[in-house]
């Protein structure tokens, strides 16, 4: 596929590739797959990757400011690399809360408690293990009507998520120090073992480094699941219909918070948190709106200051974590920013006034 692109500037479509790999003498790999549908699913994924690449290239020529560089074509698999194996519901079935597989799986079964209709089972190879993903359909409720009940989230480091609302309940801060320490310890270990491996064997990567990375990734993924589940539970308890999340384009790449802080900040997958929050919210009919954060931390929420560059701002940060309004009222700095993000998306969110809004949050430890 890559050679076709380099030589002719195009790629083989799914139909052409499927026909080519069924040709006698070239069909060994195709027929080695457990089911014909699995081979076809592999080709479809390959086709989608190249289709996405050409779509990105077309968009890049018109909107280069949206990209950090020229889109790159899909890469070759590494030596002895493995691709995702997909089994459709034609190849596997749910029987007595277990997924059964074709005979070539030698009796392998997978316990499951899925409630919807089984669509696919994906086997995703990692460094030293395989992740099994079960894809199934569930009914998605209609989005809730807008009843002016919102929560807004400001993402950070020590305060992983600062959550405010416009229904009169006290703000909440999710502690992020545990996740930060996981990253810092991981970075310290990797720096040490990378140096040792380079000196002793001239290697850039070792099995030990793979184990450390996999453990760190599992811990981070678990943290993101628990945090997003907590946010959803909180939103449902307040009967909110919309969640506003502040997230700037390229914020991880462009941020400059000092070497030590940057290292922790860049390695926290905020997009993973957002993705998990989005699919959880969809199951409850709650909207997720992502907004950029410009001027939300500098402008004063308590003074209802317009969020734009000002010659003289009405409020100011007086010390770490605190913000002072024009009349001297003290508010938690991240709470101030989160309220402003809500105002940026919903200017009338506080049409009935701000009396009774929480100024200082409760700190919670979720994971």
DSSP alpha helix (H) spans, 202-291: 207-237, 251-254, 259-266, 270-282
Closest to 348 measured CA to CA, from 146, 144, 142: 146
CA–chain centroid gap for 274, Å, is 5
Q: Which pLDDT belongs to residue 259?
A: 60
Q: Which pLDDT belongs to residue 266?
A: 52
The CA-atom distances, in angstroms, between 131 and each of 75, 104, 122, 293 are: 21, 19, 8, 36
pLDDT digits (tens, 9 = 90+) for 125-135: 887 788 999 99
Residue 47 near residue 67 (C-beta atoms within 8 A)? no
DSSP 358: -
Q: Which residue has the tokens 């907590």?
A: 230
Parts of the chain with a pLDDT under 50: 254
- C-alpha span between 176 and 155 (Å, rounded): 10
Q: State the CB neighbour count (10 A cutoff) for residue 71.
A: 15
The CA-atom distances, in angstroms, between 24 and each of 14, 28, 47, 65, 349 are: 18, 9, 22, 47, 66
Q: Which pLDDT belongs to residue 252?
A: 53
pLDDT digits (tens, 9 = 90+) for 93-122: 999 999 999 888 888 999 998 888 999 999
Q: Which two tokens stand for residue 343?
A: 């105002």
Q: What's the pTM value of the predicted model, to 2 decimals?
A: 0.84
Q: Which pLDDT belongs to residue 204?
A: 84
Q: Which pLDDT belongs to residue 281?
A: 97
Q: Which pLDDT belongs to residue 314?
A: 95
């Amino acid at each position: 596929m890559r050679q076709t692109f380099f030589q002719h500037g195009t790629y083989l479509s799914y139909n052409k590739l499927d026909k080519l790999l069924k040709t006698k003498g070239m069909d060994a790999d195709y027929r080695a797959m457990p089911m014909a549908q699995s081979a076809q699913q592999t080709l479809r994924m390959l086709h989608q990757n190249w289709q996405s690449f050409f779509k990105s290239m077309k968009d890049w020529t018109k909107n280069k400011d949206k990209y950090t560089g020229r889109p790159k074509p899909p890469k070759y698999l590494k030596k002895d690399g493995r691709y995702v194996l997909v089994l459709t519901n034609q190849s596997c079935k749910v029987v007595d809360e277990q997924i059964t597989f074709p005979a070539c799986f030698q009796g392998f079964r997978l316990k499951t408690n899925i409630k919807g209709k089984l669509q696919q089972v994906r086997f995703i190879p990692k460094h030293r293990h395989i992740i099994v993903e079960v894809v199934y359909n569930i009914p998605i409720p209609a989005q809730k009507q807008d009843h002016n009940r919102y929560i807004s989230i400001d993402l950070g480091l020590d305060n992983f998520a600062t959550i405010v609302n416009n229904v009169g309940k006290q703000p909440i801060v999710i502690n992020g120090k545990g996740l930060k320490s996981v990253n810092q310890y991981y970075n310290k270990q990797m720096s040490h073992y990378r140096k040792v491996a380079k000196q002793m064997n001239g290697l850039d990567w070792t099995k030990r480094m793979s184990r450390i990375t996999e453990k760190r990734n599992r811990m981070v993924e678990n943290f993101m699941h628990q945090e997003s589940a907590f946010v959803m539970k909180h939103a449902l308890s307040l009967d909110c219909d919309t969640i506003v999340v502040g997230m700037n384009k390229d914020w991880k790449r462009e941020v400059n918070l000092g070497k030590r802080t940057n290292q922790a900040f860049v390695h926290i997958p905020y997009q993973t948190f957002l993705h998990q929050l989005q699919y959880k919210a969809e199951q409850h009919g709650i909207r997720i709106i992502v907004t950029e954060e410009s001027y939300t931390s500098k402008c004063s929420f308590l003074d209802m200051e317009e969020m734009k560059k000002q010659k003289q701002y009405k409020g100011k940060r007086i010390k770490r974590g605190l913000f002072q309004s024009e009349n001297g009222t003290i508010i938690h700095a991240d709470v101030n920013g989160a309220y402003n993000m809500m105002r940026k998306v919903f200017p009338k969110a506080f049409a009935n006034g701000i009396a009774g809004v929480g100024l200082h949050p409760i700190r919670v430890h979720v994971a």
